[in-house]
Amino acid sequence: MSKADICITGVGAATPLGHSFSAIADNLWAGRSGVRRVNRFAVADHPSQIAGLVEHIPCPADWQEQAFSRLSNLEQLTLWCCSAALRDSGWWPVRSEIRLGLVLGSAAELLGLWESDFTSGGKHIFRSNKDFEPVVAGTRRRLQLSGPAVSVSAACASGNYALALGRRWLEMGWVDVCLAGACDLAITPVSLAGFGNLRALSRRNDDPEGASRPFDQDRDGFVMGEGGAMFVLEKAASARKRSAHVYGRLAGCGASSDAHNMVIPSPDPQPAIAAMRQALADACLDPAEVDYLNAHATSTSVGDIAEAQVLEAVFGDHLARLPVSSRPWLASSPCDSRRSHPPSTSITPIRSARCATLPTRPRNDPSRWRCPTPSASAAAILASSWRRRDSRPAINQSF
């Protein structure tokens, strides 16, 4: 099987920072945060009372508002992201005429279904529901997609796994075009209470925008978030033939498991190191060629130490020059039920990207940013200015 040059030609998203590539980018450049106090349900008794919420999901163009409103919130989110990505790529009018695949990452589909049903007196959590239609099946049917479709649940690595699988389908010739990405709406009373009582969530309820502070010695946990992003993948030859706009190239992927604990990161960094090196090799990249890294950055006491060790091992001296940041302070992390499966590691290098954003928390005093490990090189994780730039090879990392 030959390795194909895979491009990203369409983006569809709904996040606490906006519902389009341009809106999200504008809010990133402005340094705005989507994290605030949860107002969807009572949180007075919750140890953590803040999150990144998607307040509104737009109805896709040419879709009946009434029919759209009858769908579950997760179905609405997925349908919006997929249809927006297809329209952005130019494939929307002919989507049913090509082999168009769908790989949907989702870590909390059944959590939301079971909890909402149980609170209304239902019993789906105790017995199967023969009428249940998975979100991926409903989305495929509503969009009239004839290619293969599958859902992937790999905690917060779900999106990376979806991109890796979509890329492989294109290389194998199973699809002409593929929708790949992840959508989740996991902020519910049970999930917020569960992670909060595990002491995995930040309790800085009086400072939502500054609560998530990865790689800082004052960190006290992550902030839950929700949202979705779907990408249209196609071979470079197809994109060139259509004169399509290319956001970036999906250059390689790597994955591993540490076979350790369901919640606690392994003290052995080698499995995660292997995933990163596998991704770099797949992309034919030397570590020194990487221009930007979007870290997993849980902001937990053990998670950041483990990740810093991995970055030091993989990048060595280049880490002192490599911009490393993350997005949790801005909108938190969709699929944050991810923390149920941290042994799964997925790394996706993007050969070229339209923009990169640095650093992690621009509003806070950089003198307060302290690295979780004593190594001097790890301090490069923390940048001191917010910059807008075009990025060359970039890596997205999830555990």
Q: Token pair of 371, please?
A: 């690295």
Q: Which residue has the tokens 């621009």?
A: 362
Q: What is the arithmetic mean of pLDDT over 75-102?
A: 97
Instruction: Give me the chain's average pLDDT, please.
Output: 84
Looking at residue 179, its pLDDT comes to 98
Query: What is the pLDDT averaged over residues 118-146?
Result: 87
Q: What proportion of the chain, given as a percentage, has pLDDT over 70? A: 83
**345 pLDDT exceeds 60?**
no
What is the distance between the alpha carbons of residues 182 and 231, in angstroms, rounded to a whole number? 9
CA dist 255 and 61 (Å) reads 37
Q: Is 165 in contact with 103 (CB distance < 8 Å)?
A: yes
Task: Report whether pLDDT(365) > 70.
Answer: no
The span from the CA of 313 to the CA of 260, in Å, is 20
154-179: pLDDT as tens digits: 888 899 999 999 999 999 999 999 99
Q: Is the pLDDT of residue 262 over 90?
A: no
Question: How do beta strands 344-358 and 387-391 pair?
Answer: antiparallel
Q: What is the pLDDT of residue 32?
A: 86
pLDDT of residue 45: 96
pLDDT at 77 over 90: yes
Angle between helices 303-315 and 270-282 (to 10 degrees): 50
Q: Which phi and psi (to 5°) does residue 72 adopt?
A: -70, 160
Domain 252-398, CATH: 3.40.47
Listed by start position, the domains of the chain span: 6-249, 252-398
Question: What tokens were used for 311?
Answer: 């970055």
> Is residue 121 over pLDDT 60?
yes
Tokens of residue 206, six digits: 């009086």
Answer yes or no: is pLDDT of 40 > 60.
Answer: yes
Distance CA 352, CA 248 (A): 5
Check whether 272 has a pLDDT greater than 80.
yes
**Preceding amide of 359 cis, omega within 30:** yes
Higher pLDDT, 257 or 333: 257
Q: What is the pLDDT of residue 301?
A: 83
Higher per-residue confidence, 19 vs 115: 19
Q: What pLDDT is recorded for position 131?
A: 76
Phi-psi region of 75 (alpha: psi -120 to 50; beta: other; left: phi over 0): alpha
Whether 334 has a pLDDT exceeding 90, the answer reads no
> Which pLDDT score, from 0 to 100, does residue 66 have?
95
Among 95-99, 163-167, 346-350, which stretch is predicted with the lowest mean pLDDT? 346-350
Q: What is the CA radius of gyration of the chain?
A: 20
269 vs 381, residue with greater confidence: 269
Q: Which residue has the higher pLDDT, 257 or 143?
A: 143
Q: Is the predicted pLDDT of residue 243 greater than 70, yes or no?
A: yes
Quote the CA–CA distance of 69 and 353 in Å, as a whole number. Answer: 35
Give the span between the Cα atoms of 89 and 58, in whole angstroms: 19
Instruction: Please check the confidence at residue 72 and state whether its pLDDT lies above 50.
Output: yes
| pLDDT (0 to 100) of residue 347 | 58
Q: With 60 as the cut, is the pLDDT of residue 330 above it?
A: no
Q: 383 with 349: CB under 8 angstroms?
A: no
pLDDT score for 324: 84
Tens digits of per-residue pLDDT, 188-197?
A: 999 999 999 9
Dihedral sign for Cα atoms in the order 132, 229, 98, 62:
positive
Locate 101 and state its tokens: 């695949």
CB crowding 363-382: b at 16 or more within 10 Å, else e = ebeeeebebbbeeebbebbb
Question: What is the C-alpha separation between 136 and 159, in angstroms, rounded?
Answer: 14
How confident is the model at residue 264, as a pLDDT?
Answer: 80
Q: Span 261-265, mean pLDDT?
A: 79
Tell me the mean pLDDT in the region 143-149: 97
Helix, strand or coil for residue 331? helix
Q: Which residues pair with 32 in a beta bridge?
A: none
65 pLDDT above the threshold of 50: yes
The per-residue pLDDT for 83 is 98
Angle, in degrees to the nearest 10, between helices 73-89 and 135-143: 40
Instruction: Answer whether residue 244 shows pLDDT above 50.
Output: yes
Per-residue confidence (pLDDT) for residue 380, from 0 to 100: 47
d(CA 188, CA 167): 33
Whole-structure pTM value: 0.89
Pick among 1.20.120.160, 3.40.47.10, 3.90.1150.10, 3.30.1220.10: CATH of 6-249: 3.40.47.10
- For residue 248, give the nearest of 157, 167, 327 by alpha carbon: 167
Dist CA 18 CA 59 (whole Å): 14
| Cα(377)–Cα(193) distance, integer angstroms | 37
- Least confident window among 86-100, 283-297, 337-351, 381-395: 337-351
The 8-class DSSP code of residue 133 comes to -
Asked if the domains at 6-249 and 252-398 fall in one CATH topology, the answer is: yes
* Largest distance between two CA atoms of the chain: 58
pLDDT at 254 exceeding the cut of 60:
yes
Helix-strand-coil split of the chain, %, nearest 5 = 35, 20, 40
